[in-house]
Amino acid sequence: MVSGLELIQKSFTQALESNNVKCVDPQAGEAFDPNLHQAMMEQPSDTVQGGQVIQTLQPGYALFGRVLRPAMVVVAAKGSGAAAGNAAYAAAPANGGGTYDGQA
């Protein structure tokens, strides 16, 4: 049963490729391109710099360079990466935060 489904998927993929439908499947570390990718999540990363793809959740497809479905990706938050650290996500200093006026 599984091998039959794999053959159907392979046949379908070949049919798409023969009609110039290209798979858009960005790898980790590629720059996020809003024309080809849809950011589903943004999270800090120690492995890639901010604004780069961390993971592809679902590949996209393009026909003659026109996007049929964007690739759904997880993007590294700005300020992340090995060089920058995760300072944007660090806890705020405990300085009291200001005053509260309880009278309105």
Mean pLDDT, each 10-residue run in order, the chain (104 residues): 92 93 94 95 92 95 95 90 49 52 60
**What CATH number has the domain spanning 22-85?**
2.30.22.10
Q: Please tell me the distance from the alpha carbon of residue 51 to that of residue 74, in angstroms, as a whole number.
A: 10
Q: Domain ranges in the chain?
A: 22-85
Q: Please tell me the distance from the alpha carbon of residue 33 to that of residue 14, in angstroms, as a whole number.
A: 26
Comparing CA positions, the residue from 35, 56, 46 lying closest to residue 77 is: 46
Q: Which residues are paired to 24 by β-bridges?
A: 60
**Which pLDDT does position 101 carry in this prediction?**
58
pLDDT digits (tens, 9 = 90+) for 35-50: 999 999 999 999 999 9
In order of 18, 51, 77, 99, the CA distances from 41 in angstroms are: 33, 12, 9, 35
User: Which amino acid makes up residue 98?
Assistant: G
**Which pLDDT does position 41 carry in this prediction?**
95
Beta carbons of 76 and 52 less than 8 angstroms apart: yes
Beta carbons of 53 and 72 less than 8 angstroms apart: no
Let me know the angle formed at the C-alpha of 60 by 59 and 66, rounded to the nearest 5 degrees: 160
**Which pLDDT does position 103 carry in this prediction?**
64
